[in-house]
Amino acid sequence: MSPINTKVRKPKENNRLRLLGLHVRKWREQKGLTQEQLALVVGFTRSYITEIETGKRNISFLNLTKILDVLEVDDREFRKLLQDINSEKEK
């Protein structure tokens, strides 16, 4: 039996994941995609996309790059996300 991850995230970690999720949702909506459509294209489940967008899922870098590629997020937008996350870190 595999161990259950009972680690509780710190509030700052939750805020960073929430910011990531808000950006992913914004970019997805700008492309006119539903969560289901995005999930189908990147090979994830709709519930996985929901968890990302609500800040409940800490995704891997590789999964993030798949999403960014499909949503055609440019470098400027990605840097804005990183700045937002870094400013949250400083709070």
* Structural domain of 74: 11-86
Which string of b and e fits 55-86 if b means at least 16 CB within 10 Å? bebebeeeebebbbebbebeeeeeeebeebbe
Q: What is the pLDDT of residues 43-79, one digit of tens each?
A: 999 999 999 999 999 999 999 999 999 999 999 999 9
- Angle of helix 35-42 relative to helix 46-53, nearest 10 degrees, comes to 110
Tell me, yes or no, whether 1 lies in a domain: no
The tally of domains found in the chain comes to 1
pTM of the entire structure? 0.83
Q: How much is the pLDDT for 12?
A: 79
Check which CATH number belongs to the domain holding 81 and give it: 1.10.260.40
Q: How much is the pLDDT for 90?
A: 63
Q: What is the CA radius of gyration of the chain?
A: 14
Question: Does residue 27 have a pLDDT over 70?
Answer: yes
